[in-house]
Amino acid sequence: MTAGGNRPPAFRHELYPYEGDAAFVAGAVSFIEDALSGDETVLVAVGEDKQAMLRDELGKSGADRQVSFVDTGALGRNPGRLIPAWQDWIAKSVGDGLPVRGISESPWRTASPAERGELRYHEWLLNLAFSASPAWWLLCPYDTTTVEPAALDSARLCHPFQLADGRHGDNPVFRQGPFAFDDLGAACDPGETLEYGPGALAAVRDKVAVCATGHGLQGARLRELLVAATEVASNSIRHGGGSGTLRTWVADGVLICEFHDAGHIEDPLAGRFRPAVRQIGGRGLWLVHQLCDLVQIRSTPEHGTTIRLSTVLD
């Protein structure tokens, strides 16, 4: 029996714990060469250092020319952008009639605590996002010498499969879900709160702009943040009980805008799918993910919805 039932799932989400660079290269190259031998298309999304290692090793046989590489840094640090990126690539590959494999290693070593929390949640969301997708196989390497134990423990729970001791197989500790998100960290001396409702979007933008410009944010980055803030506040007014509360503050070089309302977002994947071309509505949260460096959404029927937008200050 495979993880999740008698029939193999279309999406094979596999954990690869490894120890050090040599083990990473060995496992990843074996995975890639096996895919290429079966005429599968391969996309590798890792940092620049890991890309260089794989290109060097694969280049010995010329296999590097058959693999597509994406720098995870180029996608930004917001995990909310990753699912649409994989969707786009899979749709193109399936459209070309090719079986699909991918390798994706998150930047755990350099991620902030808030980013790590979103990365952990993202790993579970992948199972939901691709439960009905065309068949494909995603290998997720985790360096046990650098990834904190809590992150690795969490990863073991949300990968149905694992690569261990050179063998691909079921992961006995996989948990179907639901998966709990991390609590938001405490606000750091937030400025005055702003209560907003119908007709108050200009006041929302003004408050965000005052805080942002006071810390040097300007130009396109400021305009993007103002669009995102307007989208979130508009959602509060339309879907969150007609009003909300905004707080802004800066911590560790990051501007944070926090919105809270009484609504409840039932879909944990809200904002994680690229809207269809002819889709009417439902684009706001997706746009917010594209415009902000990190988006944290916490929503329950009991406590309402809190959304934090983070923008790194250069």
First CA to last CA across the chain, in angstroms? 51
Print burial letters for 245-254: b (CB count within 10 Å at least 16), e (below 16). ebbbbbeeeb
Instruction: Render pLDDT for 90-133 as a digit per residue (tens, 0 to 9).
Output: 888 877 777 899 999 988 888 889 999 999 999 999 999 998 88
Domain check: are 15 and 161 in the same one?
A: yes
Q: Is 115 part of a structural domain of the chain?
A: yes
77: domain CATH number is 3.40.50.300
Domain check: are 146 and 32 in the same one?
A: yes
User: What is the 3 state secondary structure string of 34-78?
Assistant: HHHHCCCEEEEEECHHHHHHHHHHHHCCCHHHHEEEEEHHHHCCC
Domain check: are 119 and 16 in the same one?
A: yes
Domain check: are 160 and 40 in the same one?
A: yes
Q: Is 223 part of a structural domain of the chain?
A: yes
By residue range, what is the domain housing residue 136? 11-170
303: domain CATH number is 3.30.565.10
> Is residue 288 a contact partner of residue 231, using CB atoms and an 8 Å limit?
yes
Q: Is 2 part of a structural domain of the chain?
A: no
Q: Is 185 part of a structural domain of the chain?
A: no
Which residue type sits at 237?
Answer: I
How many domains is the chain partitioned into structurally? 2
Q: Using CA atoms, how far apart are residues 211 and 8, in angstroms rounded to an integer? A: 51
Residue 185: which of 31, 107, 296 has the closest Cα? 296
Instruction: Render pLDDT for 240-291 as a digit per residue (tens, 0 to 9).
Output: 999 999 999 999 999 999 999 999 999 999 999 888 766 666 688 999 999 9
Instruction: Render pLDDT for 195-226 as a digit per residue (tens, 0 to 9).
Output: 999 999 999 999 999 999 999 999 999 999 99
Q: How far from chain centre, in Å, is Cα 196? A: 29
> Is residue 129 a contact partner of residue 83, using CB atoms and an 8 Å limit?
yes
